[in-house]
Amino acid sequence: MGDWDMQTGTGIRFEWGPTGAGRLAAEAACLVTVDVLSFSTTLSVAVEKGIRVLPFGWPGGSATEAERTDASAAAEAYARRRDARLATHRTTVTPSTPWSLSPAHLRAAPFVARLVLPSPNGAAIAAAAPPGVQVAAACLRNITAVSSWLTARGYGTPGHPVAVIAAGERWPDGTLRPALEDLLGAGSLICELHSQGAGPLSTEAAAAKASYEGTADIVHAVATSASGRRLAAMGFVADVAIATEDDVCALVPVRDDDGVFAPG
């Protein structure tokens, strides 16, 4: 395979999902996962509380019940091995297990030092980056903090390119569903990076930036997107509200050498 899909020669690159992350990570100095609803947003809430988060890949929409059972057992074993508590599904929180991928749940839950956070999208992107590649998480809540962290470390040039990865969602058959909220979150970060002198942009990154700049009301767009409507229908309007808090978080979740996200 050639390098036609590597966006070579640019400082800011953009792709979708774990496969895109794995491809761009081969040349990236830093990879940024953008999963607005909800992995990246929940990470931002976690680091505000001082929680260290261990991402755990979770089966997508096409997984069988047996595969989900196996994944649950593996996640429980991983949490025990890493001396961490395990987050549960949004719909199965209890007083004894109040942590989940819901940022509203995590904001209200008691402090825990280490938390395993299963996710089918954002966590899988973090796992796609090899150990030598820096990984950070961005959402609409921490755009300025992430862009400033990146440029202060010299990321965002052709010699040290940033790969911005929109996580997307999954269709019922498990394939990638490009998600509007992640396109807008990625475009916001690319816009801020470019304003701070990073670049040049790949064509893909420029298109994501233009999508963000061309959206007049980001909060409305996220809330009325397919993902936003789905969460609202499930009773998690508060998650969408937290995800659209505009640039209120000054901390950057960064993966350390042990695979744990903590403030950068």
Task: Provide mean pLDDT across the span 26-44.
Answer: 97
- Residue 215's pLDDT band, with cuts at 50, 70 and 90, is very high
Lowest mean pLDDT among 60-69, 126-135, 210-219: 60-69
Residue type, 259: G
Neighbours of 65 (CB within 10 A): 7
Residue 173 has pLDDT above 90, yes or no: no
Question: Per mean pLDDT, which range of 2-11, 47-56, 82-91 is the poorest?
Answer: 2-11
The residues spanned by each domain of the chain are 12-263
Mean pLDDT in residue range 23-39: 96
- On the question of pLDDT at 197 being above 70, the answer is yes
Residue 51 has pLDDT above 70, yes or no: yes
Q: What is the mean pLDDT of residues 136-151?
A: 98
What pLDDT shows up at residue 63? 74
- What single letter denotes the amino acid at residue 48? E
According to DSSP, the β-strands at 261-263 and 253-255 are antiparallel
Model confidence at 98, in pLDDT bands (50, 70, 90)? very high
Taken in order 180, 185, 188, 190, the sign of the CA dihedral is: negative
Q: Flag whether pLDDT at 25 surpasses 70.
A: yes
The answer on pLDDT for 183 being more than 90 is yes
**Arithmetic mean of pLDDT, 206-232:** 98
CA distance 27 to 246: 31
Residue 24 CA, distance from chain mean position: 16
Give the CATH superfamily of 12-263: ComB-like (3.90.1560.10)
Predicted local distance difference test score (pLDDT) of residue 2? 64
Can you read off the two tokens belonging to residue 19? 């496969």
pLDDT at 129: 84
In which band, very low, low, confident or very high, does the pLDDT at 86 lie, cut at 50, 70 and 90? Answer: very high
The answer to whether residue 251 scores a pLDDT higher than 70 is yes
Question: pLDDT at position 58, please?
Answer: 83
Mean pLDDT of 26-49: 97
Average pLDDT value for the chain: 95
- The residue behind tokens 């953009």 is 14
Predicted pLDDT of residue 60: 72
pLDDT exceeds cutoff 90 at 123: no
Q: What is the pLDDT of residue 61?
A: 66
Contact 24, 15 (CB under 8 A): yes
Helix (H, G, I), strand (E, B) or coil at 117: strand
> Taking 90 as the threshold, does the pLDDT of residue 14 lie above it?
yes
Which residues, including other chains, have CB under 8 Å from residue 36's CB and lie 6 or more apart?
139, 140, 179, 181, 182, 184, 185, 222, 243
- pLDDT over 60 (residue 1): no
The more confident residue out of 123 and 100 is 100
- Contacts of residue 24, defined as CB under 8 A and 6 or more positions apart, other chains included, come to 6, 7, 13, 15, 31, 163, 165
End-to-end Cα spacing for the chain: 35
Q: State pTM to two decimals.
A: 0.96
Residue 217, pLDDT above cutoff 90:
yes
Paired with 85 in beta bridges are 115
Tokens of 81: 């091995």
